[in-house]
Structure 1
Amino acid sequence: MRIVIIGASGNVGTALLRRLRETRSGDRLVGLVRRPPDPVGEYRGVDWHALDVSGPDAAGELGRHFVGADAVVNLAWGFQPTRNIGYLESVGVGGTAAVLGAAQSAGVGLLVHMSSVGTYAPGRHGEHVDETWARTGVRSSAYSRHKAAAETLIDDHESLLGADAVPVARMRPGFIVQRAAASGLTRYGLPAYLPAHLAPRVPLLPVDRSLCLPLVHADDVADAVVRVIEQGATGPFNLAAEQPLTSDDLAEVLGARAVHIPLPLLGALVGLTWRARLQPVDRGWLDLAYAVPLQDCARARDELGWAPAWAPTEAMADLLDGIAHLAHTGSAPLRRRSVPDLVRRDLTDGLISSRRFS
């Protein structure tokens, strides 16, 4: 098969390349990313091309690479800068529109769209929801609003073209973690001046005790994507570990003592420090973590034969071990996190939460 992967050098993309190499070594892989990595290690055996899905001619450029593709996997998304919502929307929503139009024009066999649990409306505490749950997002989270808007684009496309529309599978994973993404995730989520390897050693965990996260390891997401491609499956699929990650679970993995901070106070602290430019994560991410529903993954299990191999505590321990050891890869999104380099870029290019490209 010829498989085109947009965003192939990021968190999920790196795991997907590993999975494809393990199970489908005969496939022809094309990677479309803004900054192509050196074709070594995890990124060997891929035909890399530089492409920005938010660019003015993105649909035309994508279309040229989509010709003859059996499957296209769209993993492109932006997480920073949190202060430039317009740019994030142009990548997530505008990029989805470009991919969808190009896939339709090129007659792609299957489009795999990486959505998220963030597309869902808030859930009730402890209740699991299936793929029919309302998809209106969490309003205070730009990430969530954009994930919901991207799915609405697909809804409208399918409604307009009916049976002639390109077949689409929508993957809706919980929060995705893995060791290899440690440097990337901490670069986006921690202030530049904080040494990331100290984060897993905190003695106290300030958290509202109601935390209950749908979590999934990147390897399990990659496994589901490969199953969708192999089976030509379409429609939405929830993807999460069988049990959620609770505040007690997180404290145990960290070896820390959880200190209950009510969510309104915690949210005020996050919002204040973000506005003061002391850290790069806005309050919307905290609201999202506490608002998203838990996921019923019966459809992925029954139709794809999928089951997560990683328990949530194991997945989080894998990430934390990566943070402690500054784990990274050779790609631009997952490159090694360096405090001197981050501070230098903050001074020369602006804070990561403000500059256009990070």
Structure 2
Amino acid sequence: MTPGKQRSGGRARSARTKGLTVAVTGPTGTFGAGLVPLLQDDDRIDRVIGIARRPFDPAERGWTKMEYRQGDVRDPDALREAFDGADVVVHLAFLITGNASRETTRAINVDGTLNVFRAAAAVGARRFVHASSVAAYGFHRDNPERISEEWPVRPAARLFYAQEKAELEHLLQGESASAPELDLYLLRPPVVLGPHAIGAKDVLPGPLAPLGRRLLGRPRRLPVPVPLLVPSHPLQFIHQDDVGQALLLCVVGAGPAGAYNIAGDGVLTAADVAREFGAIPIPLPAAPAQAAARAVSRLPFLPPVAEWIEAAGRPVIMDTTRAREELGWEPRYTGLEALRDTLREDR
């Protein structure tokens, strides 16, 4: 298979249609909040194994099917023990930001993901579902205006998160070739929003996130003039519940193994987002702003959070046709509805 290409129309196996055991790494994060309630309510799922480093009580969340297993993705033996009897493994544990060193981040994100895949293969699981990202495509100037899954994933120039997502997709394809009985599903969502999304208020890209926090901290909602570096920068969003539904279809659906773009309908701009926060965007010329973003992203010794400015240099907008036609997925929320559900005050 050509590097970067993803399978379509291939095999789609399940050990059985009822009584499945599903193991989930990182079940308490944003993606888990969308998926686990669906597993709980699905009659085809008998048992859910939740693997996390920090103890939690599934029953307190209403997850009566789930058994908690303490484990670290850096510990292959613990993973194999936790996955024993699993038909499907869903890997959601991943560091996006934080204070961890680059070495620790890579040990969890890259080495840990490979550990999870190999443990799933070792216990005889039939499906492996990995939460990738739109960032896997990289922010390259020759990217098409709308990207389908046939476009290759390529590491970004500087942004570590995008680099690791692209690298992992290539590594997992190699691992999959040596484990033909384990079907590999890759989901590529954009920014994930929703009432329980971790960091959901940070809906502007990377270095623009503090703008959102400052606006939300104001008395709602005084119109505040805000200059935006790239007001016309297009953005796709997806609701956490729609991510959960796509993950569920990878777990129990009839769709073939491979990569799937998922996003809510509609494309917003940074200015649209600012207006939803109650701001009055002050536009700056798009081309010079994007050129400035590319120039800043090439500066040496950027701190990790500043690397996100690379995402403003070239938009990445996905075509979600394959997920709709082959996975049978349809989003319940548009991108704008996902944003508004995140910003609702009546909670």
Give the TM-score normalised by the residue count of structure 2: 0.79
* Residue 144 (structure 2) pairs with residue 130 (structure 1): no
User: How big is each residue's C-alpha offset from its partner over 1:142-187, in whole Å with a ceiling of 9 and x where there is no partner?
Assistant: 000011111111121133x26x35211011111111111256766x
Q: Is the 8 A contact 1:205 1:259 kept in 2?
A: yes
Residue 258 of structure 1: aligned partner: 281
Q: Hey, what does 1:330 align to over in structure 2?
A: none
Q: Return the alpha-carbon distance in structure 2 between the equivalents of residues 263 and 206 of structure 1.
A: 15
Cα deviation for residue 26 of structure 1 reads 4.7
- What is the one-letter code of the residue matched to 2:325? D
Q: For the residues of structure 2 that align with 1:250 and 1:76, how far apart are their CA atoms? A: 28
- The equivalent residue for 1:344 is none
Once residues 84 and 292 of structure 1 are traced to their aligned partners in structure 2, the CA distance between those partners, rounded to angstroms, is: 28
Q: For 1:195 and 1:38, how far apart are their aligned partners in 2?
A: 34
1:35 is matched by which residue type in structure 2?
Answer: R
Residues 136 and 163 of structure 2 are in contact (CA less than 8 Å); yes or no, is this contact kept in structure 1? Answer: yes
In the TM superposition, 1:289-308 aligns within 5 A as 289-308=312-331
Q: Does 1:2 align with 2:21?
A: yes
Distance 1:170 1:231, change over 3 A: same
Which residue is equivalent to 1:13? 32
Task: Say whether 1:27 aligns with 2:50.
Answer: no
Which residue in the other structure is 1:204 paired with? Answer: 225
CA contact (8 A) 2:216 2:277 kept: no
Q: How far does residue 221 in structure 1 lie from its aligned partner after superposition?
A: 0.8
Query: Secondary structure in 2 aligned to 1:78?
Result: coil
Q: Distance in 2 between matches of 1:289 and 1:8?
A: 30
- Please give the alpha-carbon distance, in whole angstroms, between the structure 1 residues aligned to 2:215 and 2:281: 20
Secondary structure of the 2:232 match is coil
Aligned counterparts, 1:184-263, within 5 A: 197-198=216-217, 201=221, 203-207=224-228, 208-231=230-253, 233-261=256-284, 262-263=289-290
Match runs of 1:1-358 below 5 Å? 1-24=20-43, 26-42=45-61, 44-45=63-64, 46-54=66-74, 58-81=75-98, 84-122=101-139, 127-159=145-177, 161=178, 164-181=180-197, 197-198=216-217, 201=221, 203-207=224-228, 208-231=230-253, 233-261=256-284, 262-263=289-290, 282-321=305-344
Q: Distance in 2 between matches of 1:184 and 1:40?
A: 25
Q: Could you list the per-position Cα deviations for residues 65-103 of structure 1 after superposition, in whole angstroms to 9, with x for gaps in the alignment?
A: 222111110001002336722211111101111011111
Kept after mapping to 2: 8 A contact 1:121/1:133: no
Unaligned runs of 5+ in 2: 1-19
- For residues 101 and 152 of structure 1, do their structure 2 counterparts lie closer, same or farther at Cα, with a shift above 3 Å needed? same
Q: Is the 2:201–2:343 Cα contact (8 Å) retained in structure 1?
A: no
Q: Distance in 2 between matches of 1:198 and 1:271?
A: 32
TM-score (norm 1): 0.77
Indicate if the aligned counterparts of 2:226 and 2:281 stay in contact, CA closer than 8 A.
Answer: yes
* Paired-residue identity, %: 27
Preserved CA contact (<8 Å) 1:69 1:108: yes
Equivalenced residue count is 311
Q: Indicate the SS of the match to 1:236.
A: strand
Q: Deviations over 1:213-264 (max 9, x none)?
A: 1211111011011112112531000001122221232133222111235346
Q: Is the 8 A contact 2:134 2:188 kept in 1?
A: yes
Distance change >3 Å, CA 24–CA 143, structure 1 → 2: farther
Cα offset for 1:298? 0.8
Which blocks of at least 5 consecutive residues in structure 1 are unaligned? 328-358
Name the one with the larger helix percent: 1
Report the residue type matching 1:219 in the other structure: D
